[in-house]
C-alpha cells in the first residue's frame, strides 16, 4: 500500500509540475503578447503622429546658418499648414517605397497658412522620385504666390521693397586690412564669422551676418568691410539671363519675376518658357511639345497656360552658401511638408558636445 501511494504521489507531483509549467508558459505567452501589442500600438501611434502631426528633422548642411546650425534636430509641425494623406506605399520609417505606385491624396485642413519668411520644410522639387519620397529641404519662404521678386547686388526686393532683414542671415563680405597686417582667423571666429580666404596681401573674404560685419568695421586693423557682389557679366560666356532649367549663373542679380499662383494665366514665349517648364510638365503633369514659337499642350496648340496651384520662392539664410530657388526654381504647394517648430537637440560635431543653449529653442523667436 505504501508503494502504491508512493506511485500515486509521484504521478500527482508529475501532473502538478506539468500544470505549473503550462501556467508558466501561458504567463510567458501572455507577457509576450502584451509586449507585442504595446509595441504594435506604439508603432501605429508613432506612424500616425509622423504622418499627420509632427516629424523630426536634422539640419545636415550650413545653408540656414546662423538661424539654424548644422547638427540642430528639429520638430516639424505638419498640422500648421495641413498634413498630406499618404502619397506612396512605403515601409514605415524607411526610405523604401513601392516604385510606380502613387496613391490618390489630399491635404487635410491646417490651422495656419504659409506666411512670408516662415522657415519651411519641403520636398526637393527637382528630384525625380514621387513627391513623398523626395529629399526634405529646409529654407525660408521669402516669396509668396503672386509676389514680384528681384535681386540687385545681393539685395532681395519683394514687391519693390527691400526684404525684411533677420539677424541670422549671412553673406560674403570683402574685408581689407592695413598693410603688413594679417586678418586673424581666430579673431574672426570669435565673433561668429568664418574666414573664407585671402584675395591678396590685404584683402579677405569673410562669411558673416550684417551685425558681425558692423563689429568688424570697428577693428583697428580693418580698413573697410563691403558686401561682396559678383559683377553683372559673371559667367557671361555661358548665359546672363535667369534660367531655372540650366541653373542661375549669377545669384547676386535677378530681374523681376512673379512667383506663380493658382489661377494665374501666363503667356508662353520661347524667352520665358524656361521659367515655367518644370511647373507645366513636372509639377502639373502636362505633355508639352514645341513647334518654333508655338506650344502644344496635351495635343492642343496654345500659347497660354493657367497655373493649377500656388508656388513659393525659398532661400537659405546663408545666402552665398545655399542652393535654393535661385538655382532650381519654385516650390509647389504640393511639396510643402510643414513648418519648423522647435529645436529639441543640437550637436556640435567639431567639439563633440551638445549645444545646451539651443535646446528647446522655438524657431522664429
105-139 tens-digit pLDDT: 999 999 999 999 999 999 999 888 999 999 999 99
Domain final position from 227, 247, 264: 227
Q: Are residues 177 and 138 in the same domain?
A: no
Domain final position from 209, 227, 245: 227
CB 199 within 8 A of CB 206: no
pLDDT at 237: 37
Cβ neighbours for 193, distance < 8 A, ≥ 6 positions apart: 206, 207, 208, 209, 212, 216
Summarised one tens digit per residue, pLDDT across range 231-287 is 876 654 344 444 554 444 568 888 899 999 999 999 999 988 988 999 999 999 999
CATH classification at residue 180: 3.30.70.80
Whether 247 is covered by a domain: the verdict is no
CA 91-93-98 angle, 5° bins: 25
CB 149 within 8 A of CB 143: yes
Specify which residues 162 forms β-bridges with: 157
4: pLDDT strictly greater than 90: no
Whether 10 is covered by a domain: the verdict is no
| Burial (CB count <10 Å: 0-12, 13-18, 19+), residue 20 | exposed
CA 323 to chain centroid:
11
Q: Are residues 87 and 140 in the same domain?
A: yes
How many folded domains does the chain comprise? 2
Q: Are residues 124 and 191 in the same domain?
A: no
Q: Are residues 62 and 129 in the same domain?
A: yes
Whether 129 is covered by a domain: the verdict is yes
Q: Are residues 139 and 176 in the same domain?
A: no
Whether 287 is covered by a domain: the verdict is no
Range(s) of the domain holding residue 221:
170-227
Instruction: Give the SS3 label for residue 320.
Output: coil
CA 194-255-282 angle, 5° bins: 90
Q: Are residues 137 and 196 in the same domain?
A: no
Region 322-350: what's the mean pLDDT? 93
Whether 176 is covered by a domain: the verdict is yes
CATH classification at residue 319: 2.10.109.10
pLDDT at 18: 64
Whether 271 is covered by a domain: the verdict is no
Whether 361 is covered by a domain: the verdict is yes
Q: Are residues 113 and 185 in the same domain?
A: no
Q: Are residues 132 and 209 in the same domain?
A: no
| Burial (CB count <10 Å: 0-12, 13-18, 19+), residue 51 | middle
Q: Are residues 113 and 175 in the same domain?
A: no
pLDDT at 34: 79
CB 123 within 8 A of CB 137: yes
Region 164-173: what's the mean pLDDT? 92
Summarised one tens digit per residue, pLDDT across range 5-35 is 566 666 666 666 666 666 666 666 677 787 7
pLDDT at 134: 93
359: pLDDT strictly greater than 90: yes
Region 196-214: what's the mean pLDDT? 91
Whether 297 is covered by a domain: the verdict is no
- For the entire predicted model, the pTM comes to 0.86
Q: Which residue has the higher pLDDT, 347 or 27?
A: 347
pLDDT at 44: 84
Find cell 545681393 and name the residue. 154
* Dihedral sign, Cα of residue 41, residue 43, residue 48, residue 53: positive
pLDDT category of residue 344 using cuts at 50, 70 and 90 = very high
Mean pLDDT rounded to a whole number for the chain? 87
1: pLDDT strictly greater than 60: no
Q: Are residues 135 and 209 in the same domain?
A: no
Q: Are residues 132 and 183 in the same domain?
A: no
Q: Given phi > 0 = left and psi -120 to 50 = alpha, else beta, which region is 308?
A: alpha
Domain final position from 227, 246, 271: 227
CA 343/CA 218 separation, integer angstroms: 33
CA 130/CA 159 separation, integer angstroms: 33
Q: Which residue has the higher pLDDT, 4 or 160?
A: 160
Give the number of other CB atoms < 10 A from CB of residue 12: 10
Q: Are residues 140 and 51 in the same domain?
A: yes
C-alpha dist (Å) from residue 143 to 88, 89, 157, 170, 275 = 29, 33, 10, 18, 15
Q: Quote the cell numbers at residue 125.
A: 522639387
Pairing of β 148-152 and β 136-143: unpaired
Among 52, 95, 106, which Cα is nearest to 77's? 52
2: pLDDT strictly greater than 90: no
pLDDT at 241: 47
Among 317, 315, 309, which Cα is nearest to 328's? 315
pLDDT at 22: 61
C-alpha dist (Å) from residue 68 to 42, 61, 161 = 31, 10, 26
Amino acid at each position: 500500500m505504501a508503494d502504491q501511494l508512493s506511485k500515486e504521489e509521484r504521478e500527482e507531483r508529475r501532473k502538478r509540475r506539468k500544470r505549473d509549467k503550462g501556467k508558466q508558459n501561458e504567463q510567458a505567452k501572455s507577457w509576450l503578447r502584451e509586449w507585442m501589442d504595446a509595441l504594435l500600438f506604439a508603432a501605429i501611434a508613432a506612424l500616425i503622429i509622423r504622418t499627420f502631426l509632427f516629424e523630426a528633422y536634422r539640419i545636415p548642411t550650413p545653408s540656414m546658418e546662423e538661424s539654424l546650425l548644422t547638427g540642430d534636430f528639429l520638430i516639424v509641425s505638419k498640422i500648421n499648414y495641413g498634413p498630406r494623406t499618404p502619397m506612396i506605399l512605403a515601409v514605415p520609417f524607411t526610405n523604401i517605397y513601392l516604385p510606380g505606385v502613387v496613391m490618390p491624396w489630399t491635404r487635410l485642413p491646417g490651422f495656419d497658412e504659409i506666411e512670408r519668411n516662415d522657415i519651411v520644410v519641403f520636398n526637393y522639387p527637382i528630384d525625380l522620385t514621387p513627391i513623398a519620397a523626395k529629399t526634405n529641404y529646409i529654407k525660408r519662404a521669402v516669396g509668396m504666390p503672386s509676389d514680384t521678386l528681384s535681386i540687385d547686388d545681393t539685395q532681395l526686393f519683394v514687391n519693390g521693397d527691400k526684404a525684411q532683414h533677420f539677424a541670422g542671415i549671412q553673406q560674403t563680405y570683402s574685408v581689407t586690412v592695413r598693410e603688413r597686417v594679417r586678418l586673424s582667423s581666430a579673431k574672426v571666429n570669435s565673433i561668429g564669422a568664418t574666414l573664407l580666404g585671402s584675395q591678396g596681401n590685404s584683402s579677405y573674404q569673410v562669411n558673416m551676418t550684417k551685425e558681425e560685419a558692423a563689429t568688424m568695421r570697428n577693428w583697428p586693423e580693418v580698413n573697410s568691410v563691403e558686401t561682396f557682389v559678383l559683377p553683372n557679366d559673371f559667367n557671361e560666356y555661358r548665359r546672363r539671363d535667369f534660367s531655372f532649367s540650366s541653373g542661375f549663373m549669377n545669384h547676386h542679380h535677378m530681374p523681376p519675376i512673379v512667383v506663380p499662383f493658382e489661377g494665374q494665366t501666363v503667356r508662353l514665349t520661347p524667352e520665358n518658357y524656361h521659367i515655367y517648364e518644370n511647373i507645366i510638365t513636372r509639377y502639373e503633369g502636362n505633355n508639352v511639345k514645341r513647334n518654333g514659337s508655338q506650344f502644344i499642350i496635351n495635343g492642343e496648340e496654345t500659347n497660354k497656360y493657367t497655373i493649377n496651384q500656388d508656388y513659393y520662392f525659398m532661400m537659405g539664410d546663408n545666402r552665398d552658401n545655399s542652393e535654393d530657388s535661385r538655382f532650381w526654381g519654385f516650390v509647389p504647394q504640393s511639396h510643402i511638408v510643414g513648418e519648423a517648430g522647435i529645436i529639441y537637440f543640437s550637436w556640435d560635431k567639431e567639439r563633440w558636445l551638445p549645444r545646451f543653449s539651443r535646446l528647446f529653442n522655438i524657431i522664429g523667436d
